[in-house]
């Protein structure tokens, strides 16, 4: 007899205006003999359709479980595409509606199609023991694997975040993490929900995907969902940035083409060159970009064209980089 049940399940569906259907699906893997008291984890990604790092994580979690199904002792729900039309067309928002899906939660059962889908997604995740919402920055910036936490939920979330094998836990002030996000709504329903940011938009960084997957298995073991060997996890830097004073923001002073010179994730010293803005037409350097202080370069710009004000990187101040 099979030791697990492994099914693709419809979470929500709605009729599109003409003929097509909008369907959100999840991959549920659970022990064949299920009880009422099984723990459940939800792994969610694809709220932003141009962020693809989570696609590999969804695949890899399922692959590892199906390789050793007898070690599963709880429920794993994997949602690869919360915004399926966005994922299919690699658009950040919900195409045709010009809408950021992460600004419509908690949704509304009686609202329009997108609000309805949002409310059904929340209903499906409600009651889980832990949820991970995997993001992948945007096409402009690469992020070190990190967890972002709203300070309102920090007491519940930091213990989970420490066990997630990420490099950084960034506790934000309230204003930077909005109330209309999926994670805020689900945390408000008492489902601990971690927001992961890692890698870069429209790409898959396999190394980061494997790091995240290792962390998910570690968390699953703690929750009694997995009984296999999981090893140990990284000890993350925990930064509290309520006032925005722990981080140097590198904004472009002028427009041009940005050439990075410093490796992502490296420690930098005050005055060290991070990169420079060049003028390809004149063939000259317009402006060197230097570190304003000592710290850890945890965000770097991948997209070379910058306008005045564009973010080129973030440096976590050295005195905050204590593990």
Which residues would be at the binding site for Zn ion (CB under 5 A)?
48, 51, 135
Main-chain phi, psi angles of 177, to 5 degrees: -120, 110
Radius of gyration of the chain (CA): 21
Least gap, CB of 197 to Zn ion (angstroms) = 7
The vertex-260 CA angle with 302 and 241, nearest 5°, equals 70
Least gap, CB of 38 to Zn ion (angstroms) = 30
Beta carbons of 146 and 196 less than 8 angstroms apart: yes
Which of 31, 127, 37, 28 lies closest to 73 in space, CA to CA?
31
Cβ closer to Zn ion: 92 or 153? 92
Residue whose C-beta lies closest to Zn ion: 135
Cβ closer to Zn ion: 51 or 120? 51
Least gap, CB of 36 to Zn ion (angstroms) = 34
Cβ closer to Zn ion: 40 or 48? 48
* Residue count (the chain): 323
Cβ closer to Zn ion: 28 or 48? 48
Least gap, CB of 177 to Zn ion (angstroms) = 12
Cβ closer to Zn ion: 40 or 135? 135
- What distance in Å separates the CA atoms of residue 127 and residue 204, rounded to the nearest whole number? 30
Least gap, CB of 321 to Zn ion (angstroms) = 25
Least gap, CB of 193 to Zn ion (angstroms) = 14
Secondary structure E strands in the chain:
4-15, 21-31, 40-45, 75-79, 130-135, 141-150, 168-172, 193-199, 237-241, 247-251, 256-260, 267-268, 273-279, 284-290, 295-301, 305-306, 311-317
Cβ closer to Zn ion: 99 or 320? 99
Buried b (16+ CB within 10 A) or exposed e, 283-314: eeebbebebeebbbbbbbbbeeebeeebebbb
Least gap, CB of 262 to Zn ion (angstroms) = 25
The strand pairing partners of 29, in sequence order, are 6, 76
Tokens matching residue 111:
């609202």
Cβ closer to Zn ion: 71 or 193? 193
């Amino acid at each position: 007899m099979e030791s697990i049940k492994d099914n693709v399940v419809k979470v929500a569906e709605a009729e599109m205006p003409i003929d097509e259907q909008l369907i959100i699906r999840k991959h549920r893997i659970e022990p064949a003999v299920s009880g009422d008291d099984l723990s459940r984890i939800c792994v969610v990604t694809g709220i932003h359709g141009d962020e693809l790092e989570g696609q590999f994580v969804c695949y890899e979690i399922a692959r590892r479980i199906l390789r050793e199904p007898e070690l599963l002792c709880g429920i794993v729900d994997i949602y690869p595409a919360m915004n399926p039309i966005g994922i299919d067309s690699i658009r950040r928002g919900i195409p045709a509606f010009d809408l950021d899906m992460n600004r419509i939660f908690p949704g509304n059962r009686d609202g329009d199609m997108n609000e309805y889908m949002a409310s059904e997604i929340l209903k499906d995740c409600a009651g889980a023991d832990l949820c991970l919402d995997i993001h992948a920055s945007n096409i402009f910036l690469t992020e070190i694997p990190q967890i972002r936490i709203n300070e309102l939920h920090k007491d519940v979330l930091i213990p989970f975040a420490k066990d997630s094998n990420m490099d950084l836990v960034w506790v934000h002030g309230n204003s930077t993490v909005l109330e209309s996000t999926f994670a805020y709504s689900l945390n408000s329903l008492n489902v601990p929900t971690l927001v992961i940011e890692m890698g870069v938009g429209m790409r898959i960084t396999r190394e980061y995907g494997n790091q995240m997957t290792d962390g998910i298995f570690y968390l699953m073991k703690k929750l009694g969902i997995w009984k296999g060997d999981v090893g140990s996890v990284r000890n993350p830097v925990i930064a509290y940035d309520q006032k925005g004073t722990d981080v140097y923001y590198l904004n472009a002073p002028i427009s041009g083409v940005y050439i990075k010179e410093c490796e992502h994730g490296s420690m930098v010293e005050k005055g060290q060159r991070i990169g420079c803005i060049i003028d390809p037409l004149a063939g000259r350097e317009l402006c060197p970009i230097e570190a304003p202080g000592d710290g850890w370069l945890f965000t770097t710009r991948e997209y070379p064209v910058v306008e005045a004000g564009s973010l080129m990187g973030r440096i976590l101040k050295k005195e905050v980089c204590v593990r």
